[in-house]
């Protein structure tokens, strides 16, 4: 019995393609077949990653993140568009600083999760109207750690996790939970903090009325009885805010709660 000639690299995809090596015509036909098959493959092979599903996956992820942030906000008795506005101010500020598009896109969906950890805070403490005891204050501050613990489970939420952990740090190192100072605080958290505080100033809270843009602007730039601007914020961000503050007001109006 003649030893068959097997085109070994091809055989996996074409079982049964086994010919007699001494049969020149058969060998030629086999190579013609392979050549034709190769060119046919290059014509008919679908492109590896059609853009539509990728876009869809991204949209699904962003919707899921939004609903998660929304759930946490409602749990904290928040309503309205606070988290959407914080996303947009943060995106705008990152863009103004000249951060690359990937960073801007990531902060635009990550910033809204800054207070996610409040879903793990003792509800009695979270809902308490009066002043908090030392222990209660600690539990409240732990929302940073709780949020980080939840979000650090996913690599896609790495920026959201660092924002959750560090959005209450202060430039002068007097913030929490790690008393980080200056540029040791992740930029994403420094940006989200200024966005969050501007929005809080514009919004009525149980302990304060809603401030107009002028007052909110002057507090970010120069501070007030509660906020020491120089100790609180990254001076580079304060400068960027000073140059572009009208856009913060624009975003506030575009996504107003009314």
Judged by beta carbon, residue 30 or residue 186, the one nearer Fe ion is: 186
Closest approach, Cβ 147 to Fe ion, in A, equals 8
Nearest distance from residue 39's CB to Fe ion, in Å? 59
Query: Cβ of 216: how many Cβ atoms within 10 Å?
Result: 22
Listed residue (153, 68, 155) closest to 114, CA to CA: 68
Q: Single out the residue of 188, 204, 217, 214 nearest to residue 104, CA to CA.
A: 188
The smaller minimum CB distance to Fe ion, of residues 30 and 187, is found at: 187
Give the per-residue contact string, 50-89, with Fe ion (x = CB under 5 A; - = no). ----------------------------------------
Q: Of 115 and 139, which has the nearer Cβ to Fe ion?
A: 115
Q: Which is nearer to Fe ion, 118 or 217 (CB)?
A: 118
* Interatomic CA distance for residues 207 and 240, integer angstroms: 29
Of the candidate spans 13-21, 36-44, 172-180, 188-196, the one that interacts with Fe ion by CB under 5 A turns out to be 188-196
Count of Cβ atoms closer than 10 Å to residue 133 Cβ: 11
Q: Using alpha carbons only, what angle is made at residue 44 by residues 43 and 45, rounded to the nearest 5 degrees? A: 100
170 is known as an active-site residue: no
CB of residue 13 vs Fe ion: minimum separation in angstroms?
57
Site string for Fe ion, 191-220 (x = CB under 5 A): -----x------------------------
Spatial separation of the C-alpha atoms in residues 15 and 72, rounded to whole Å: 57
Q: Which of 115, 139, 162, 169 binds Fe ion (CB under 5 A)?
A: 115
Give the other-Cβ count within 10 Å of 224's Cβ: 13
For Fe ion, which stretch binds (CB under 5 A), given 4-12, 22-30, 96-104, 189-197?
A: 189-197
CB atoms within 10 A of CB 154: 12
Cβ closest to Fe ion, residue 115 vs residue 162: 115
Q: Which stretch binds Fe ion (CB under 5 A): 12-20, 68-76, 109-117, 242-250?
A: 109-117
Residue 179 to residues 122, 170, 196, 230, 232: CA-CA distances in angstroms? 23, 7, 19, 16, 12
Task: Please state the closest distance from residue 182 (CB atom) to Fe ion, in A.
Answer: 20
Judged by CB under 5 A, the stretch of 25-33, 55-63, 111-119, 212-220 that binds Fe ion is 111-119
How many residues can be counted in the chain?
A: 258
- Whole-angstrom distance, CA of residue 118 vs CA of residue 157: 17
Contact residues for Fe ion (CB under 5 A)?
115, 196
Which residues are designated catalytic? 118
């Amino acid at each position: 019995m003649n030893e068959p000639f097997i085109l070994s690299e091809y055989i996996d995809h074409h079982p049964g393609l086994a010919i007699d090596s001494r049969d020149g015509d058969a060998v030629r036909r086999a190579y013609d077949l392979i050549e034709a098959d190769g060119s046919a493959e290059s014509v008919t092979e679908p492109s590896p990653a059609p853009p539509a599903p990728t876009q869809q996956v991204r949209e699904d992820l962003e919707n899921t993140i939004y609903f998660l942030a929304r759930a946490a906000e409602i749990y904290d008795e928040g309503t309205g568009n606070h988290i959407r506005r914080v996303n947009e101010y943060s995106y705008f500020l990152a863009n103004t600083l000249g951060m690359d598009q990937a960073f801007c896109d990531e902060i635009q969906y990550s910033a809204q999760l800054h207070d996610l950890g409040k879903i793990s805070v003792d509800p009695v403490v979270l809902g308490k109207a009066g002043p908090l005891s030392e222990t209660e204050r600690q539990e409240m501050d732990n929302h940073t750690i709780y949020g980080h613990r939840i979000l650090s489970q996913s690599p896609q939420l790495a920026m959201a996790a660092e924002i959750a952990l560090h959005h209450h740090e202060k430039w002068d190192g007097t913030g929490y939970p790690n008393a980080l100072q200056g540029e040791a605080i992740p930029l994403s958290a420094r940006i989200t903090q200024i966005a969050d505080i501007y929005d809080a100033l514009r919004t009525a809270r149980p302990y304060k009325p809603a401030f107009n843009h002028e007052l909110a602007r002057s507090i970010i730039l120069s501070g007030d009885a509660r906020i020491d601007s120089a100790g609180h914020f990254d001076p580079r961000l304060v400068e960027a805010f000073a140059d572009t503050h009208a856009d913060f007001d624009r975003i506030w109006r575009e996504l107003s709660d009314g």
